[in-house]
Amino acid sequence: MSSKGLINLIPLAGKQLLRHRVRTLLTLLGIGAGIFLFTLVESMQGAVSAVTGAQASEATLVVFRENRYCPSTSRLPEYYAEEIAQIDGVREVIPIQITVNNCGASLDVVTFRGVPPELLHRYAPEIEVLEGSLSTWQKTDDGALVGKNLADRRGLKTGDSFAAAGVRVRINGIIESPNAQDNNVAYVHLPFLQQASQRGLGEVTQFNVRVEDPAMLDRVAEQIDDRFRSGESPTFTQPESAFFARAAQELIELTRFTRWIGLGAVIAVLGLVANAVLLVVRGRVRENAVLQTLGYPDRAIAWLVLLEGLILGLVGGLLGAGCAWLFLHFSHLSFGNEGQIMAITARLDLVLRGMGIALILGGVASLYPAWVSVRRPIVESLRS
């Protein structure tokens, strides 16, 4: 059978699926639900990778209070910045105050990052102001630059004011950044946040320390912690990626568990397609025998069955992955723990992966029914 012959059979397979519309629709809904779940789980995994992986190449250390995990309990004197800056290999020190409305695991975390206004462009150089103005923010004591995801999630726009975690701010701009964390926080002035969060001036949550050479990270971290070991607030310093990984440990474990949900969804789709196609084949034993009598080779019959599985997989995958994309795109979902935020974004590559998996599952699930459809002698099938 030629490749043209294989192509000629595609419309026939599609029409065969329409013979049992309700059954086909229910199968598509089942596949769609499985792939929806799979795409969501993959998106969660992607969010974890974005947070824990993307930072690894940076030459940045995070200085946190020793034995503290939540930003609300990490309190360091702001003057530590000057002492850290004197350590050999340190290029820059940025004091940061972080205030979150919820330190536990949550799907709606609002995080304020207080940074010296003149240092924002160094702390987060990738950010782009989508609306509003950076200079207005720099001049406004209670101003905030709000990440796009946070703004979309809460329906915020420039000129609005909003309150969370006991802090009320005026929005001077909406920002976007390739760093997913930045899209889920509100940047405010450090002194303002120190006062608004009732910590008082002179106290910060952490320091972000840029070193001159990534090879110096460990040595500089050790020197920082040694310097304050016997001080009023001992520190724990580690590379930014390790800091994120530690802070997000619970989230990582949670998302690792969700892999099983994704796997379960995949197996469910496999079973669903196999069952649907097997039912089709068993209901069409005589009809397939008629086609064989008309001269259809076994390959053509098997291909027709395989096509039906592939079409179910493709359409169901499109339905599930498409719905997952729309859901993530409009829900601006993010989840956070101990101040770390992971934005679950709608990524086209994950949607395509979901569709691809569904297509492959459709094909794999149809292999056995395809074999069943051609193994019986024609005469026996015509009699059935």
Partner 1 sequence: MKAEKNFPLVRCAGVAKRYRKGSLWVTPLESLDLEVPRGEFLALMGPSGSGKTTLLNLVSGIDSPSEGRIDIGDIAVHELSRRKLAAWRARHVGYIFQLYHLIPVLSAYENVELPLLPDGQSKRDRRERVEAALSLVGLADRMHHFPRELSGGQEQRVAIARALVADPELLVADEPTGDLDRESADSVLALLRNLAEEQQKTIIMVTHDPKAAAAADRLLHLEKGRLLEDQHVK
Shortest Cβ distance from residue 13 to partner 1 (Å)? 11
Nearer to partner 1, 228 or 296 (CB): 296
204 within 8 A of 96, measured Cβ to Cβ: yes
For helices 249-283 and 21-53, the axis angle rounded to 10 degrees is 160
- Gap between the Cα atoms of 201 and 234, Å rounded: 19
Residue 12 binds partner 1, judged by CB under 8 A: yes
Q: Which is nearer to partner 1, 190 or 302 (CB)?
A: 302
Q: How far is the CB of 377 from partner 1 (least distance, A)?
A: 7
- Identify the residue among 169, 312, 377, 384 touching partner 1 (CB under 8 A): 377
**Dihedral sign of CA atoms 79, 82, 87, 90 in order:** positive
Of 6-14, 79-87, 170-178, 350-358, the segment contacting partner 1 by CB under 8 A is 6-14
Looking at the Cβ atoms of 348 and 379, the one nearer to partner 1 is: 379
**Between 99 and 292, whose beta carbon lies closer to partner 1?**
292
Mask of contacts with partner 1, 270-289, x by CB under 8 A?
Answer: ----------------xx--
Q: 3 vs 230, which CB is nearer to partner 1?
A: 3
* Count of Cβ atoms closer than 10 Å to residue 314 Cβ: 17
User: Applying CB under 8 A, does 230 fall inside the site for partner 1?
Assistant: no
Contacts of 377 (CB under 8 A, 6+ apart): none
Decide if residue 9 touches partner 1 (CB under 8 A).
yes
Instruction: Decide: is 8 part of the binding site for partner 1 (CB under 8 A).
Output: yes
Residue whose CB is less far from partner 1, 16 or 181: 16
Decide: is 22 part of the binding site for partner 1 (CB under 8 A).
no
What is the pattern of x (binds partner 1, CB under 8 A) and - over residues 286-325? xx--xxxxxxxxx-x-------------------------
- Binding-site member from 19, 139, 157, 259 for partner 1 (CB under 8 A): 19
Task: Say whether residue 112 binds partner 1 (CB under 8 A).
Answer: no
* 25 lies in the binding site for partner 1 (CB under 8 A): no
Residues that bind partner 1 in the complex, under the rule CB under 8 A: 1-5, 8-9, 12, 15-16, 18-19, 286-287, 290-298, 300, 377-379, 382
